[in-house]
Structures are given as C-alpha cells and as structure tokens.
Amino acid sequence: MLLTKAARRQALRDRPAAAAGAAATKARRRLPAARRRLDVVQAVLWLAAERDPGAITTVAIAERVGVTHGALFRHFADKEAIWAAVFDWVGGALDEVVRQVFAEGRDPLQTLQRLFVAHVGFVEAHPGVPRILFHELQRAGESPARLRLSELVLGYRRRLAVLFGAAKKARQVDSTLDAEAAAVLFIGTVQGIVLQSALFARAGSMQAHARRILPLLLHGFCGARR
C-alpha cells in the first residue's frame, strides 16, 4: 500500500527513535557479566522485601531484571547459585560498612558504638537482607548459601571479638569481659532489633531503637571497669 506524504514524513521522524530504542535494547543485552549478576542480586533483595523469600521464583527474578528466563541461567548455574551470590554481596556490603567505620579512626569503644548503629542502618536500608537470612536458616540441610551465611557471621564475630579485646586493653570495658561472648551478644542484639521491627511494623526507625538500646548494652560491657 502506498504511503501518503504525511505518513512518509512521520515514518522518517520515527526512525531515529526506533533506532535509539533498538540500540538501548542491544546495550542492555550486552551488559558485562558482573553487572548483570549484580542486577540479579539486587532484584532478589527487592523481591525479598516485598514477599516471602521462599516464594521467589527464577521467573520473577528474570522479569524484575528485564531478561528472559533462559538468559538468567547464562550467569548462574541454578537458583542455589543465585542465593549464594546474594550472600556474597551481603558479606561484601557489610565489610564496606565496617571498613568505613574503622576508617574514622576512633578508639575501640567509640568504634563499637558507631558499628552497632551502622550495622542496624545497613539492615534498615536493605529490608530484603534479614528476610532472606531468616528464610535460609529455616531450611533443612546444607547449601552453598547457608555456607556463605555461616562464613559471614563467623568472620564478623571474629572482628568484633578483636575489637572488644582492644577495648579491654584500653580499659574501656570490664577487664573480665569475655570478648567472644560480647561479640555474640552484639550481633544477637542487632538481630533482636530487626526481629522486633518485623513484628511491629509501626514501631519506628530501627536506628532510633538501636540508639536507645546501645547505652544498656554498653553498661553491661563496661561494668565496674576493674
């Protein structure tokens, strides 16, 4: 069918937009593998904040990322590999939070205080993280993701224990303080704040709760400082 002059002019005007759209689509498809893997991890975290992590399907992940279901498995062998990558990201992101706090150059006790609030702030900024962690802990048996989670918690606990040891040497906490037990209590208190926030959605900011609880925690750590 012959086009009218007006139709031909419109077609010519539409060509650049169509070409730009095609180029953008092509660029999305050619994202570096590392960037695409990160997109998948972020999609899982967003989905976990919205729904039961156990109900997240690979189809839903692919749709959130904007790729085909088959393309998703060009970057991950299976769903377990995706979950393992999520925990790898969480570990790296939490390490960065710790690094930034240590970079402030404060004394051991001040660093512990800043780290406590920063840890809670990280969880509050990424609500999908605790939901995925608690979901993984409810699953029976071992998995690559569960192994990553164990390594993450143990590594963090060791760093805290070293920090509590430094606080003891500086006489900022009780000289009889069990540094390893203090590290466990530190992490457990953060988990408690997160759980309370999940149970009582209108309870307010997690960081606000952290600042209220922190003096009580420090009182237990410091004791008589003998």
Could you give the C-alpha distances from 161 to 6, 134, 191, 210, in angstroms and in order?
76, 24, 17, 20
pTM of the prediction? 0.77
Alpha-carbon Rg for the chain, nearest whole angstrom, is 24
pLDDT at residue 205, rounded to an integer: 83
Beta-carbon contacts of residue 170 (< 8 Å; ≥ 6 apart): 107, 108, 109
pLDDT at residue 17, rounded to an integer: 43
CATH number, domain of 90, equals: 1.10.357.10
Q: Is residue 48 part of a domain?
A: no
Q: Which residues of the chain have pLDDT under 70?
A: 1-31, 201-203, 224-226
What confidence tens digit (pLDDT) does each residue in 60-100 have?
A: 999 999 999 999 998 898 998 998 899 889 989 998 999 99
Q: Which residues constitute the domain of residue 158?
A: 82-222
* Residue of 202, 189, 77, 51 whose CA lies nearest to 131: 51
pLDDT at residue 216, rounded to an integer: 92
pLDDT at residue 29, rounded to an integer: 54
CA–CA gap between residue 173 and residue 204 (Å, rounded)? 30
Q: Is residue 53 part of a domain?
A: no
Please work out, in degrees rounded to the nearest 5, the angle formed at the alpha carbon of residue 142 by the alpha carbons of 138 and 146: 65
Could you give the C-alpha distances from 64 to 42, 60, 83, 109, 124, in angstroms and in order?
9, 6, 16, 42, 22
Q: Is residue 26 part of a domain?
A: no
Q: Is residue 210 part of a domain?
A: yes
Q: Is residue 11 part of a domain?
A: no
Q: How many structural domains is the chain composed of?
A: 1
Q: Is residue 217 part of a domain?
A: yes
Q: Is residue 65 part of a domain?
A: no
pLDDT at residue 4, rounded to an integer: 56
Q: Is residue 39 part of a domain?
A: no
pLDDT at residue 60, rounded to an integer: 95
